[in-house]
Copies of this chain bind each other. A is one copy, B any other.
Amino acid sequence: MRKEEGRKLMPNNGSLTSRGQNSRERILNQAAQLVYEKGVRGTSMDDMRAAASVSKSQLYHYFSNKEELILAVIERQTVNVLGAQLPLLEHLDTWENLEKWRTTIIDLKESSESLGGCPLGSLASELADQDETARVALMHSFDEWEQYFIDGFSKMKERGDLRAESDPAELACAVITSLQGGQLLTKTRKSTRPFKIALQTAYAYVFSFATNPQDVEMAKKGRSQD
């Protein structure tokens, strides 16, 4: 009961007690988890209420309706997904680091028992056609994700690792779309094979714009030797 530190005096955000923040967090975490497992329409407000061990009035005290809660879930999952890869995302500017990102998320996928697809992809598939606000939010999540790749590829282009006719934005889009397709098929087939093939496909496309293909080979070797 004494684990939170930034306590008392001056509510951290819009007039929320630390107790209140705690409740709100619990709701949001449980909601994100449930929605990931059962989908938005497959998760009732009461399911989330029960999972978070709060009362109905609390649920509606912190989120005025389901739509708003789901919007918060989208933001939360964006932070979760990008956060899990953040240190790697920030340095996607060498062949070696690019390789490291790939092997890391493949290991992540392979070690997890879920095979449940990407939280953002699942939300996008369910909501893009139903809720314009959610669609735009998810689009921005993908923008944010792609931007790390755009930045990395741009640096590689400036440095001369990628040829002048390469388009960093296009390559970034290729990586994210492939990854999403891979997640979807992997979830459907309950096998990581499509995921790996999809990433391989996207990478081959990126590599095809390499100025010195030997650099790419070296980066791969460096990985497998390690």
The answer on a CB contact under 8 Å between A129 and B37 is yes
Closest-by-CB residue of B relative to A143 is: B189
The answer on a CB contact under 8 Å between A188 and B41 is no
Closest-by-CB residue of B relative to A195 is: B177
Interface centre among A37, A117, A174 (most CB of B within 10 A): A174
Closest-by-CB residue of B relative to A174 is: B201
Interface residues of chain A: helix, strand, loop or mixed (majority) = helix
Q: Within the complex, which residue of B122, B181, B193 is in contact with A180, where a contact is CB–CB below 8 Å?
A: B181
The answer on a CB contact under 8 Å between A188 and B128 is yes
Encode A50-90 as 1/0 by CB contact (under 8 A) with B.
00000000000000000000000000000000000000000
List B contacts of A124 (CB < 8 A): 184-185, 187-188
Q: Which of A12-20, A25-33, A153-161, A202-210 lies at the interface with chain B?
A: A202-210
Encode A77-118 as 1/0 by CB contact (under 8 A) with B.
000000000000000000000000000000000000000110
Encode A31-57 as 1/0 by CB contact (under 8 A) with B.
000000111011000000000000000
Complex CA gap A189/B38 in Å reads 24
The answer on a CB contact under 8 Å between B177 and A130 is no
Complex CA gap A130/B187 in Å reads 11
Complex CA gap A179/B41 in Å reads 26
Q: Indicate if A194 sits at the interface (CB-CB under 8 A).
A: yes
Encode A167-191 as 1/0 by CB contact (under 8 A) with B.
0001001101111111011011110
Encode A123-150 as 1/0 by CB contact (under 8 A) with B.
0111011100001001100100000000
List B contacts of A188 (CB < 8 A): 124, 128, 135, 138-139, 142
A interface residues, Cβ below 8 angstroms from B: 37-39, 41-42, 116-117, 121-122, 124-126, 128-130, 135, 138-139, 142, 170, 173-174, 176-182, 184-185, 187-190, 193-194, 197-198, 200-202, 204-205, 208
**Which 4 pairs across A and B sit closest by C-beta, in order of nearness?**
A181-B181, A41-B41, A125-B125, A177-B181
